[in-house]
Amino acid sequence: MRYLGSKDDLAPHLVDFLEKRGLLDSGLRFFDAFCGIGSVSDALKGRAELIVNDILVSSTTYTLGRLFTPDCTFDGLGFDPFSYLDSSSETREGFMFENYSPGGSNRMYFTAENASRIDFFREQIKQWDEGGLLNFEEHQTLLATLISAVSFVSNTAGVYGAFLKKWDSRALKPIRFVRLSTSNTSSGPVKHMSGKVEHLIQDVPCDILYLDPPYTQNQYGTQYHLLETLILDDKPSDL
pTM of the model: 0.94
Q: How large is the angle between the packed helices 136-153 and 225-232, nearest 10 degrees?
A: 140
Q: Pairing between strand 29-32 and 190-193?
A: unpaired
Task: Report pLDDT digits (tens) over 92-128.
Answer: 999 999 999 999 999 999 999 999 999 999 999 999 9
Q: Where are the beta strands (DSSP E) in the chain?
A: 29-32, 49-53, 190-193, 208-210
List, run by run, the mean pLDDT of 10-residue segments along the chain (239 residues): 76 95 95 94 95 96 96 97 97 97 97 98 98 98 98 93 95 97 87 94 94 74 89 83
pLDDT, residue 8, reads 81
Q: What DSSP string describes 84-111?
A: HHHH-------HHHHHHSTTTSS--SS-
